Amino acid sequence: MTGLLELRDSLTLPFILVMAAGGLYLTVYMRFFQFKYLLLGGKILTGALDWKGSRGKITPVDAFCAGSGATVLPGAIIGSAAAFAIAGPGVLPWIWIFAFLSMPLQYAASTLSLRFRAVTQSGSMLAGPALIIEKGLKARWLALVFSFLFIAASFFSGAGFTVFALHETIAAAGPSIPAITISLIGGVLLTLISLGGIRRIGWVSRYLFMAGLFLTLLSIVVLFYNIYIYSGRLTLQSGFFPAVWGSLGTAEYFSRANLMKYALATSVFLALTETGSGKASAIAGLVRTDFPAKQGLSALVPPFLEGPVVSSVIFFLAMRLEELFPGSSSQSSFFLTRIFTISPALPYLIIPAAASLFLTSMNSWMFSGYQTAHFIGGRKSGAAFQISFLIVLFAAGYLLHGDHSRFAEIVFLGTICSGMFVALFAVAALLLQAKTARTELRKYLDTGRVRYEISKDFYLLLMTALPKNLLSRLFGFLSMLRLPRFMMVPILQAFARVYQINLDEAELNLKDYPSLNKFFTRALREGARVVDAGERTIVSPVDGTVSQFGEITDGRMIQAKGIFYTMEDLLDCPEFAPEFVDGSYIVIYLSPQDYHRIHSPFMGNVKGYSYSPGKLFMVNQIAVNGLHGLFPKNERLTTYLETKNGMIAVVKVGATNVGKISVTYDTIQTNRWIRRSKTHRYDRQILMDRGQELGRFEMGSTVILLFQKNAMRFLPKIEEKFKVKFGQAIGEFTGKK
């Protein structure tokens, strides 16, 4: 053990110097871009700027949850507690500084991983630091050295340390669960998850991380409440800021002994948060994106969460516990024993949170290690690694059982040392390719697609984070409530006044609508609209505003300037989509002011429909300009109408607060609790006359019409922001189809 301790201490200084120098160099070289693009990185992380037409396997949020989710919470929590135990509160400013300096390193790792990813002979994608070294530096021997070090780190961090940390958490809470049982359960779950490939890993990691995050936040709230009950007071600790920042101006703070102590504590924090390890970048390299720098910018977020956010909370909590229980900071279980003493209810929150997040960690280490082993010797080598990983996992559980405390120390120190070794190689490789990383950023920024305004970005982030489908169902439920007339009439009057609705066009008097839903879906009075009867005339199916129109070029359609989505992603229907290759489209936005029923744009026969479950983002101008691939992201119900002049697809796009979309020719409705994609083709005729009601929205949204190639042309008066009414001519068939 002495040798390991000496190795750790001898690695600390070069590790911390390389991390500091590398982070500082990239920060200056990239012109302090962390400050400017952190919020943009958060927006990219949500998937707001990505679209389904991009190449790749998983979404940015899946990559975040799989690659960094476990380090943002348990890694940062354990790392912060360990740093506090080693050096006290004075190390927190150093953790903040190195979190800031590690942001450009994380950016470069993710960007270059995408830049140099490869497709194997079997069609799978391969990414990670090994490919960055081989392709970027043309040094396969160095890539192989790194790969073997990375595999060793995955055994220590992904197998040994996760079992050790989870066992410590459970043991501190009281339940007697052997470590071998934990490793066996983990191995079975890992096998089931890994069989589904990276898509299943990303999907499972997302839900495990969300569950772990919720339980962790709830644990913190419960803990602070119980500290208040235990101590009889709840105040912002007066000594926190002086303890953290107050000694910075003293000579003693910068003494050699203190600096070495802070360097060791910071190194432990960085190693446990896997900074520079390359694990997250191996997964980020498989993200579905059209520019490598986009995923790189989203990698700015994890270091910020790990450093200034999580570490500050843990240090505050550690100081509070140290005040209540002097000497608790020296406990190897990082205050868990004291925490569970204060609140007997906490184990029921912390244990499932830890289990969710550590399973995520095992998952990501096993996959990134597989990627690295695949780089060394192909698929057989990757499979051999997976088997070896499971064997190490079981062995760790066995050796940690009973009185094998010495093995626990080896696992902990091995995790720290292997993390430092791997980071030294990875950071050096990133620095040698700093120019490529900056070029990729410039390439993305020069596209003109990057729009970042704090107020609008915050709005989009909020809309992304909120449970839109649940809120829309709730709004739909409330809109259907039948209130007494003396209550409902003022509500409807206020709604009509705010949105300037023309009540003279409504079929009924305002007092005759028993609910908001009935008013939203109101029919028009007879004669309020005249349907153009031209032989080849295509009429607007709704009241609304033309957002975009034109030709489908190379399968792509314009959402806003510089933002595209594909026809195939929009329809999500291989059976009908080929009909509209290189065709035409028009997008019509319905505001709350507009009439909400949808009508047939031409006479024809309903051949079928396709339903694509999705999110319910807003479809207003801010969302259209800020969320890439907005319409394919949202829930959609598409009617396929066969006319004598060719096929028409009437795509009804859901949006926030759209309780549901329904059609007149079938019982299918959207935004149900249980939803799955569906395509249905009718074996009977369902004839629709031009202007006949086709369906309805239960609030405003968007309708997109698709036409076949060369089948129609739009009228000259049609342009962006042109206000159309149902029944008004918007185009005509050419007769060429």
Active site residues: 543, 599, 701
Residue 104 structure tokens: 């450009």
Classify 666 as helix, strand or coil: coil
How far apart CA 364 and CA 63 sit, in angstroms, is 9
* C-beta of residue 531 within 8 angstroms of C-beta of residue 524: no
Residue 637, H or E segment: strand 636-643
By three-state DSSP, how is residue 383 classified?
A: helix
Give, in order, the Cα–Cα distances in Å from 664 to each of 351, 439, 668, 710.
51, 53, 9, 30
In single-letter form, the type of residue at position 337 comes to: T
Contact 708, 735 (CB under 8 A): no
Cα dihedral across residues 375, 381, 386, 388: positive or negative: negative
Local structure of 334: helix, strand or coil: coil
* Alpha carbons 246 and 243: distance in angstroms, whole number: 6
Look-up of token digits 């942001």: 103
Q: Could you give the CA distance from residue 583 to residue 646 in angstroms, rounded to a whole number? A: 11
**How many CB atoms sit inside 10 A of residue 137's CB?**
14
Nearest-angstrom CA–CA distance, 104 and 86: 27
Structure tokens that stand for 528 in this block: 């309020």
The sign of the torsion formed by the CA atoms of 411, 275, 162, 188 equals negative
The structure tokens listed for 83 are 């740093």
Measured CA to CA, the distance from residue 617 to residue 702 in angstroms comes to 12
Report the C-alpha gap between 663 and 697 in whole angstroms: 9
DSSP-assigned beta bridge partners for residue 606: 641
**Which one, of 635, 702, 656, lies nearest residue 466 by Cα?**
656
Beta bridge partners of 553: 556
How far is residue 256's CA from residue 19's CA, in Å, rounded to a whole number? 19
List of long-range contacts for 553-560, beta carbons under 8 Å, 24+ apart: 553/582, 555/53, 555/581, 556/53, 557/585, 559/624, 559/628, 559/629, 559/630, 559/631, 560/624, 560/625
Q: What is the DSSP letter of 590?
A: P
Residue with tokens 């301790």: 5
Q: Which letter, b or e, does each residue of 122-133 get, where b requires 16 or more Cβ atoms within 10 Å of its Cβ?
A: eebbbbbbbbbb
